[in-house]
Structure 1
Amino acid sequence: MSAPVNLVSAREFARLDGCNDKLVRNAIKAGKLPVSGDGKIDAALAGTGWRRQNRRTADGADKGADSSKMSAPSTASADPGAAVVQIDDFISKVLAGQFLSMTDAERVKENGAAAKNLLVAMKEAGDVIDIEVAETVLFNQARQFRDAWMNWPARVGPLIAAELGVPPDPVLEALNKHVQQQLNDLGDPDAAFEDD
């Protein structure tokens, strides 16, 4: 049994692929991009490099800067921080007018579109969540823990007093004091998701 096909409009396909919908419509007209009977496109084709096979270079067309002058940022580095530095360097060079060759630029664009589509798919699958949602969940969980600790002396204080054969009020007072001090020492919950 094959997986269900997710058909989308040309405009939605262009958004998923990170390109202009005119480019998509031209590829459909030229028969270079398959469509269903109602003119819809399989969303799985977004980010697959369908544009590369449809590209033709006109004689004398600007092919971009010499690729030996500048290379595309590599994301294969084991250190994610290094990739951020390389991307920042890449952006500064482009802003300074040092452009990539058409092949390298297409590779960067396709990798960016693929990464964007992957993040969308991971979010839809529940593999990633927004930081705001995570912070809310962690804050609520910390509040529940705090409330449980604040109620703990009232639950166990009389039991401890009975085991020791002492009045419950001094035990409750001592437990409340130490639990409150512990909660104050822990401070407010702070989920630091950002890099320093």
Structure 2
Amino acid sequence: MQGMSERQYAAHVGLSRGAIQKAKTAERLVLHPDGSIDAAASDARRAETTDLSKSRPKAAAGSGGMKPVPAAAIAAVGETLRESGVSVPEVGEGATYMKARTANEIMKAQERKLRLQKQKGELVDRMRAERLVFRLAREEREAWVTWPARVAAMMAAELQAEIGDGNRVEAALMQKVLETHVRAQLASLAEIRPRLG
């Protein structure tokens, strides 16, 4: 054999054997009379006829033939995993598709776990929980706001019985004092904000 076989030439230029066969069919390779490939002449012809804007670059050494993943994509996956409380594997600039895929699989497993916890009732919808807490707080506040009007007359009567007939306790005055203190207490409670995060 005077030149290289298809496999040898494919390894020489870093392409697949199928790509070499296509180039051979398109007559972009120089062949010896025995059908083997003249490497130097074929390299020159391919350089003349190849549109560099459409060609794929060779894989970086040590990447296992995988293309590097953009750092922004890795950072986005890492951020999502950290938010979920998952430890993120160390990934640098030369991160490969396999590393990104591993991170993606971890994230999908976390999503499945969360979905299962929600189905079991171990997790609740945050918006629904916030609405429920707000409604409960509003109902509690309304109950306290109306409380002085309900109990003022009874409290005035009890106090009247304790202090005797000489001093009169007005129910309206009792209600006014109670409302003042209840509203002050509710105002201080309004400063408390539930933390669901």
TM-score by length of 1: 0.48
TM-score by length of 2: 0.48
Bigger-Rg structure (1/2): 2
